[in-house]
Amino acid sequence: MSAARVDPSVQIPHPRETMSLFGHRDAEHALLHAYQGGRIPHAWLIGGAQGIGKATLAYRMARFVLAHCDSRAGQVQTAETLEIDPSHPVARHVAAGSHGGLLTLERTLNDRGVMRTVITVDETRETISFFGSTAAVEGWRVCIVDTVDELNANAANALLKVLEEPPRQSLFLLVSHAPARVLPTIQSRCRKLPLRTLAADDVIRAAAAAAQIAVDDPALAEAAAAAEGSVARALTLLGGDALKLHQRTAALLKSLPRVDPRELHALGDSLGGSDRVLLAAFIDGVDRWMAERLRADDANANLPRLARLAEVWEKINRAARDTAEYNLERKPLVFSVFGLLAEAIN
Residue 230 lies in a domain: no
Do both 190 and 250 map to the same domain? no
Choose the final residue of a domain: 194, 213, 231.
194
What are the residue ranges in the chain where pLDDT is below 70? 1-11, 133-138, 239, 297-301
Q: Taking a C-beta distance cutoff of 8 angstroms, is the pair 332, 339 a contact?
A: no
Choose the final residue of a domain: 179, 194, 209.
194
Residue 206 lies in a domain: no
Residue 296 lies in a domain: yes
Which of 334, 198, 280 minimizes the C-alpha distance to 6?
280
C-alpha span between 291 and 45 (Å, rounded): 20
Residue 107 lies in a domain: yes
Q: What is the dihedral of CA 53, 289, 204, 144, to 10 degrees?
A: 10
Do both 138 and 246 map to the same domain? no
Do both 73 and 185 map to the same domain? yes
Number of domains present in the structure of the chain: 2
Do both 252 and 190 map to the same domain? no
Its domain, for residue 340, covers 239-345
Q: What pLDDT does residue 11 have?
A: 61
Do both 46 and 162 map to the same domain? yes
Residue 215 lies in a domain: no
* DSSP string over 189-222: TSEEEE-PPPPHHHHHHHHHHHHT--TT-HHHHH
For 197-226, the pLDDT digits (tens) are 999 999 999 999 888 889 998 888 888 988
Do both 177 and 272 map to the same domain? no
Task: Specify the 3-state DSSP secondary structure of 15.
Answer: helix
Q: Taking a C-beta distance cutoff of 8 angstroms, is the pair 172, 141 a contact?
A: no
C-alpha span between 87 and 91 (Å, rounded): 7
Give the CATH number of the domain where residue 84 resides: 3.40.50.300
Do both 36 and 182 map to the same domain? yes
Do both 178 and 271 map to the same domain? no
Residue 5 lies in a domain: no
Do both 171 and 273 map to the same domain? no
Residue 14 lies in a domain: no
Q: Using a cut of 0.85, tell me whether the model's pTM lies above it.
A: no
Residue 212 lies in a domain: no
Q: What pLDDT does residue 1 have?
A: 38
Q: What pLDDT does residue 71 have?
A: 94
Do both 51 and 185 map to the same domain? yes
Do both 35 and 92 map to the same domain? yes
